[in-house]
Structure 1
Amino acid sequence: MSIFQSFSGLRKLIKSLDFKSLQRISEKVDLPAVMEAVSKMNDDDLSKMMKMIQAGGGHKKKKPEINGDFYSLGQTLAPDDHEVLQRVRDFMETEIRPIANDYWNRAKFPMEIIPKMAALNISGLTYHGYGCPGKSALLEGFVAMEMARVDASISTFFGVHSGLAMGSIYLCGSEEQKQEWLPRMQRMELIGAFGLTEPEVGSAVAGGLTTTCRRVGDEWTINGQKKWIGNATFSDITIIWARDLDDQQVKGFIVRKDNPGFKAEKLEDKMALRTVQNALITMTGCRVSEADRLQNANSFKDTANVLRMTRAGVAWQAVGCGRGAYEAALKYTMERRQFGRPIAGFQLVQDLLVTMLGDLTAMQTMVYRLSQLQDGGTITDEHASLAKVFCTLRMRSIVDHARELFGGNGILLQYDIARFVADAEAIYSYEGTKEINSLIVGRAITGESAFV
């Protein structure tokens, strides 16, 4: 660019300004003096000045990073744990986000992701031995959040397999059972499911299982139904909990998909977690070997130990769902323009965003402490239940505000927020409803049981 061309371009730029703009500029600078100084510039200096002017004076405002971890809790993780979390984030962003809406819309599960997920080496993350990593519950929580931040269905699939199914064997199985099943499940060569809830028995499972079992020789016969059993349409094994007709205690069983009398049917027409393959399981004279009975599951207290551990994970999932909705909404408001500016610049929008961030940050700090209690071995049922109650309530509020910020676009699947809103409803209900978990906490703080 020659001096003449640059100087001519500057003159055209000045001429393009209206009178008021010129007047404001002339009040701050001596325009004739500026023009004289410009005329003495060499080609390089003049070209640089023109680029600065065309770019807004070189002071273009940089947009803040979209990050729902406002208190930087993730930075407290050890470097090797942070590397694990980064691998999970990369996997979710590159492998899951591009396909999440399509599979959710079709209510199908992307089976092709299982080997890729296995390569992350995160199944049975907190278990020691049997090929498991032996990491902290805190890292496990962050992993659940990171998955749900992109797709709560994938987080649920993983939680059922790694938490409920593997956890049942890890906590309640014999050493021989752990050796037989856990290494292959850790490598995700076998996929697990967990069958506790029944068509007519949800919250009352502690004292009212209708699925029964009875031992005859070296076999057990199981009869009954289980409902809402995630992964069960394609799982290799399903942990089934049944009431022993002889002593009325709850027993656990590793039921193989080809066991006689076992049938799993996919539940259709769900409005939430559509990618998760939930099943209605019917067992009619289902025969299971004594060798496949969980040898250390002898009452519902043993089942409750598994649920306590995984309920904390559900609270983290609620945080992830809320975080995904918040970050999607924040990004949208920074890009969506109305009245000549991004809607992020309007007061009412910022008020909603800050309300969402406050809820999200409170949730994050609560589950962070919950996982610390879990790592310290002092977590109780009421600790996990309070986190489940609070985090799912706040998650609902966050996705509601996010949906509001998207306006009409919020009902379109392509913007993700509709999926977050729907999936939040399932997270709100499973692993104990708000009411049941509230009664668990209420019993702990009052000493009075209000269940019946």
Structure 2
Amino acid sequence: MSTTSGKATGTARTRTDPLDLAGIDDMLSPEEKAVRAAVRQVCDSAVDPHVAEWFENGELPAIRELARELGGLGLLGMHLEGYGCAGMSAVDYGLACLELEASDSGIRSLVSVQGSLAMYAIWKHGSEEQKQRWLPPMAAGEAIGCFGLTEPDHGSDPAGMRTRARRDGGDWVIDGRKMWITNGSVADVAVVWARTEDEDGGVRGFVVPTGTPGFSAPLIKHKLSLRASVTSELVLDGVRLPADAVLPGVRGLRGPLSCLNEARYGIVWGAMGAARSSLAAALEYAGQRSQFGKPIAGFQLTQEKLAHMAVELTCGTLLALHLGRRKDSTGLRPEQVSIGKLNNVNKALDICRTARTVLGANGISLEYPVIRHMTNLESVLTYEGTPEMHKLVIGQAMTGLPAFR
């Protein structure tokens, strides 16, 4: 039975957003939408007009100016409380990551490493003096941080790290190397994890000003992914630090792993940004590209691809929102973060690859964002935990049996 307005009884008839067929936007508060809109505005003006050129040239020349702009918006360490940080919700942070990665994974990585790795480590595990010294300028984008855990020979197994910190009188002396470090060559401070020679042994975190003698950060070149991002090696050759450089609030791998879970949560959202951007490009292209006398959007096989991408984007975004709401209310367990990261990056890659086929040969051109997102996600797939490691985390949660060794 129809109403006089022509609407079916009990059914809301509004204009369909082809990128949000399930109406996820209706689940967001006006404040959350405002955060998203503010991030989208800065990305539209400061990132999108330049990012294809940055990617093609393999550089991020405006990183300090961009960091200050992002800091001015309150995006750096935005989910942390105090010390100049915005103290916003996990969902707010997730929406910001989605918009940042819709522009480029490298830009989201800049924000994620700054806020969820370097700043979070100091905020969660640092001394009051360390927090007061570093967090306010980092939140403002006046100081850039990096996070040194991965080594040339140890990625998924950080317990095997070779970087060592030894005591020398009242000082610490660190020797070692770290690899694939975002922001490394431009950082003002590095949070470096090293194995110590204390009686209890174990891993400790150190706050290392990058101007300290013996510290260097050679730029890693010849990347074919995350090219609009600064990636470096960290070399610590007899780096001498005072006793109060150590993070006092944590010992062992629990420290760096707690930071990684923060960063992985941002990836759960960010991957959906890359997926949305690619789907949007494919949808627009399919409506404009004509073959056999009509737009390719009118062919069944193209619509099947578009529908498949839309469903996967919807499911991944709903998962991200669920995890965000849970993080804000009761917190997240490691396996829950692993479910999100494993699923959403895999689905985002699938969406990007499918979108590439819709664009045909144009899909490999940087005039469109698809190939850039696709190659970036190949890095996102394996950093902050490879798919294999996340499967093992989930498997241990299901069975109670660790299968890492």
Alignment map for 1:269-418 (pairs within 5 Å):
269-418=222-371
Deviation per CA, 1:33-80, whole angstroms, max 9, x where unpaired?
A: xxxxxxxxxxxxxxxxxxxxxxxxxxxxxxx87653333333433323
Greater relative CO (CA pairs within 8 A, separation 6+): 2
- Cα contact 2:352–2:373 (8 A) shared by 1: yes
| Aligned counterpart in structure 2 of residue 126 of structure 1, from 79, 85, 95 | 79
2-structure distance, mates of 1:94, 1:329: 22
- Residue 376 of structure 1 deviates from its aligned partner by 1.9
State which drifts further: 429-438 or 208-217: 208-217
> 1:242 is matched with which residue?
194
Count residues in correspondence.
388
Select the residue among 14, 18, 22 that pairs with 1:71: 22
Structure 1 68/292 Cα, relative in aligned 2: closer, same or farther at 3 Å?
A: farther
Note the residue ranges of structure 2 that are not aligned, 5 or more in a row: 1-14
1:190-209 mapped onto 2 (5 Å cutoff): 190-205=143-158, 207-209=159-161
CA-atom RMSD in angstroms: 1.4
Match of 1:227 among 172, 179, 185: 179
Residue 297 of structure 1 contacts residue 303 of structure 1 at CA under 8 Å; is this kept in 2?
no
Bigger Cα displacement from structure 2, 264-273 vs 104-113: 104-113
Amino acid at match of 1:222: I
2:218 match: secondary structure: strand
* Deviations 1:386-412 (CA, angstroms, capped at 9, x unpaired): 111111111111111011101011111
Q: Take 1:325 and 1:287, find their aligned partners in 2: how far apart are those partners?
A: 47
Counterpart contact for 1:325–1:398, Cα < 8 Å: yes
Q: 1:275 is matched by which residue type in structure 2?
A: A
Q: 1:218 offset after TM fit, Å? A: 2.6
Higher relative helix content: 1
* 1:188 alignment partner in structure 2: 141
Q: 1:104 aligns with which of 55, 75, 94?
A: 55
SS of the aligned residue for 1:266 comes to coil
Q: 1:87 aligns with which of 38, 41, 53?
A: 38
SS at match of 1:258: coil
- 2:393 corresponds to 1:440: yes
Deviations 1:242-294 (A, max 9, x none): 11123331100111111111110011111111011110111111112222211
Match of 2:97 among 144, 152, 160: 144
Between the aligned partners of 1:150 and 1:228, the Cα distance in structure 2 is: 22
User: What displacement does 1:355 show?
Assistant: 0.4
Against the structure 1 CA distance between its residues 69 and 195, is the aligned structure 2 distance closer, same or farther, given a 3 Å change threshold? farther
Tell whether the 8 Å contact from 1:240 to 1:255 is kept in structure 2 after alignment: yes
Mapped partners of 1:420, 1:153: distance in 2: 10
Q: Give CA deviations for 1:205-252 in whole Å, capped at 9, x if unaligned.
A: 0x2111111122331111110000000110111110111123331100
State the alpha-carbon separation in 2 of the partners of residues 163 and 67 from structure 1.
32
**Identity rate of aligned residues, in percent?**
35
Determine if contact 1:108/1:276 at 8 Å carries over to the other structure: yes
Q: CA deviation at 1:314?
A: 1.3
Distance 1:72 1:349, change over 3 A: same
SS at match of 2:178: strand
Partner of 2:6: none
Q: Which residue is 1:3 aligned to?
A: none
**TM-score, normalization: structure 2?**
0.93
Please say if residues 75 and 111 of structure 2, whose CA atoms lie closer than 8 Å, have aligned partners that are also in contact.
no
Work out whether 1:217 is the aligned partner of 2:169: yes
> Under a length normalisation based on structure 1, what TM-score does the superposition of the two structures give?
0.83
Q: C-alpha distance in 2, partners of 1:309/1:405?
A: 35
> Unaligned 5+ residue runs, structure 1?
1-63
C-alpha displacement of 1:98 = 0.8
- Alpha-carbon distance in structure 1 between the residues aligned to 2:148 and 2:17: 39
* CA displacement, residues 164-205 of structure 1 (integer Å, 9 cap, x when unaligned): 111111111112211221111111110111111000000000
Cα distance, 1:389–1:259 mapped onto 2, change above 3 Å: same
Query: 2: CA distance between counterparts of 1:149 and 1:70?
Result: 18
- State the match for 2:373 in structure 1: 420
Aligned residues of 2:277 and 2:369 also touching (Cα < 8 A): no
Give 1:216's aligned amino acid: D
The 8 Å contact of residues 152 and 317 in structure 1, kept in 2 or not, is answered as: yes
